[in-house]
Amino acid sequence: MSPIDYDVVYRSPTTELERAITDVQGEIPAELDGTVIRNGAGLQKIGSDSFNFFDAPGMVLGVTFEQGKARVRGRHVRHPFVGEELAAGRQLKRRVFTNLPNRWSNLFNVKIADVAQHDVYSWGGRLIASGAMRHCELDPTTLDSRAEVDWGVVPKDHQMCQMPRVDPHEKVLIGFSQKPGAGADEIAFWEFDERWQARRAATRKLGGPAAFVHDLAFSERYFVFVENGTKLELLSALWGKRSIYHSLAWPKDKRPKLWLLPRNEGAGEAMSFELPEPAVTIFHILNAHERNGEVIVDLHAFSGPIDFIAGYPPELRSRQGMRIERGPGGSVMRFTVDPTKRSLEAKTLYSGIGELPEIHPMRQGRDYRFAWLTSQESDGGEPDPNATLWTHGVCKLDVQSGARSVWSAGASGFVSQAVLAPRPGATEEDDGWLLVFVLDGERATTDLVILDASNPAKGELARLHLGQTIGVPGTHATFFGGMKLA
């Protein structure tokens, strides 16, 4: 494969879009009703300044299904500072992964901008695009940006997490906020009811400053998260030659920790467990649940540090003297915790990359059987076949038996998170459809593929041609049953 095939992921959408989708191969299921929305990198270049794909101003892309037809709408997430950068025709603020082009503009510059391009969720009648530090409310019919989310009682010196989760059983939105500290960061878990009234459910000091926590899960009694075994090299971050992210170190004597915090303070003690190898870097948790008094946590673990060099466009890598190296492999692991004995057992469910996990929304925090993940099912000749932006397939994983059903987009197809759209009225956990945005490296355009969630290996039920390059397939996506875009 030529470099142009895999470099297509760095292209920005030329325009926002809204149109009926008429170029369809196969047949859209008539029962499929609702909207899938992907959030991810949009403008990967402003003027001559390029960004790591985690730092590019975001674009939310939604496809609405109704009575066997579909329409698409895409909008850039508009933060005020992005408008300022567009007007100036250049990058004005330092990002987590992308320094300002002028080396000395990063010296002692800790005013880091965030572009809310990581995830999208809906709660209490509000649709929200989220990032590492900012969440932006969107119009639920047009996807136009409204305003930055005001978290009310959450202290202003706390940063809200990127991926809150809905507990469908308790009917609350669960998120954590993190307060930077000189000696150690503080993490606080919050539960928001459907009126957006919040309560602080648990608070804990972490192992040090700039603690690296990405995702969360929950069981009936516990909040669950992983504190990665990283250490911020503060002088490097302040000196500004390296990005904030690349000022993180992974000391070999510092292991990632799995934390369990009681959902109600006073209902037990917080506990943490060092995770054994091969777990080194953890971004995403599949699920957590309880069985016979034990807490079971399934997650994807990389076997080494992740540098995200592949996320930098070629011109930015060249300017900063970066070279893509093959990254570490991954595995889906299960950790079983006995809170009474304070013990932890580890088991590998699947050896291989299995990122951006999806489960049935009603199985969050409860026992479950199936997960859908992105997986590397084809070799596209990329310099780092383990890089998440060059993933070529999706798989359904039976977490009880280890059986997999896989679908490959081919060596030139790059996939987004596989999103589950449950069939209306279904009683089986895997009865529904998988919705996967696919960037076609040969045609340089983005499609939406519909698969049978019960058996992705059966192949495509339909492929919807969107007629435009969206670039990186996205970080996360969500299906909202019954939601309709204009």
Sign of CA dihedral 51, 54, 59, 62: positive
Contact present, 59 and 473 (Cβ < 8 Å): no
Residue 146 lies in a domain: yes
pLDDT tens-digit profile of 330-352? 999 999 999 999 999 999 999 99
Distance separating alpha carbons of residues 175 and 446, to the nearest angstrom? 32
Distance separating alpha carbons of residues 377 and 355, to the nearest angstrom? 13
Residue 342 lies in a domain: yes
Place of tokens 């890598």: 317
Contact present, 355 and 377 (Cβ < 8 Å): no
Sign of CA dihedral 85, 468, 357, 385: negative
Q: Which helix (H) or strand (E) holds 413?
A: strand 413-415
Q: Give the ranges where 258-352 is alpha helix by DSSP (H).
A: 314-320
Strands 17-20 and 445-452: unpaired
Residue 127 lies in a domain: yes
Pick from 349, 473, 454, 466: which is nearest to 414 by CA? 473
pLDDT tens-digit profile of 357-409? 999 999 999 999 999 999 988 888 888 888 877 889 999 999 999 999 999 99
Residue 486 lies in a domain: no
Is the pLDDT reported for residue 165 higher than 80?
yes
pLDDT tens-digit profile of 401-454? 999 999 999 988 999 999 999 999 999 999 999 999 999 988 889 999 999 999
At residue 342's C-alpha, the angle toward residues 341 and 344, to 5°, is 105
Q: Please state, rounded to an integer, the average pLDDT across all residues of the chain.
A: 92
Distance of CA 364 to the CA centre of its chain: 16
Is the pLDDT reported for residue 4 higher than 70?
no
474: pLDDT confidence band, cut at 50, 70 and 90?
Answer: low
Distance separating alpha carbons of residues 260 and 377, to the nearest angstrom? 34
Distance separating alpha carbons of residues 319 and 103, to the nearest angstrom? 11
Pick from 347, 372, 349, 346: which is nearest to 359 by CA? 372
Is the pLDDT reported for residue 3 higher than 70?
no
Distance of CA 290 to the CA centre of its chain: 24
Q: What's the total number of domains in the chain?
A: 1
Taking the alpha carbons at both ends of the chain, their separation in whole angstroms is 39
Distance separating alpha carbons of residues 168 and 134, to the nearest angstrom? 24
Contact present, 51 and 90 (Cβ < 8 Å): no
Is the pLDDT reported for residue 103 higher than 70?
yes
Residue 174 lies in a domain: yes
- Beta strand segments in 126-185, E: 126-130, 135-138, 145-148, 159-160, 165-167, 172-179
pLDDT tens-digit profile of 200-241? 888 999 988 889 999 999 999 999 999 999 998 989 999 999
Task: Write out the residue range of the structural domain in which residue 268 sits.
Answer: 3-481
468: pLDDT confidence band, cut at 50, 70 and 90?
Answer: confident
Distance separating alpha carbons of residues 123 and 144, to the nearest angstrom? 17
1: pLDDT confidence band, cut at 50, 70 and 90?
Answer: very low
10 Å CB burial of residue 123 (0-12, 13-18, 19+) is middle
Contact present, 71 and 65 (Cβ < 8 Å): no
Region for residue 102 given its phi and psi (left: phi exceeds 0; alpha: psi -120 to 50; beta: otherwise) = beta
CATH code (residue 407): 2.130.10.10
Is the pLDDT reported for residue 319 higher than 60?
yes
Backbone angles phi, psi at 118, to 5 degrees: -100, -45
DSSP state letters, 207-236: SSTT-----EEE-SSEEEEEE-S-EE-HHH
Distance separating alpha carbons of residues 376 and 331, to the nearest angstrom? 12
Backbone angles phi, psi at 395, to 5 degrees: -140, 150
Bridge partners for 445 per DSSP: 440
What's the average model confidence in pLDDT over 239-251?
Answer: 92
10 Å CB burial of residue 80 (0-12, 13-18, 19+) is exposed
For residue 295, give the amino acid letter.
V
Distance of CA 184 to the CA centre of its chain: 25
Backbone angles phi, psi at 388, to 5 degrees: -70, -25
Place of tokens 């009474």: 340
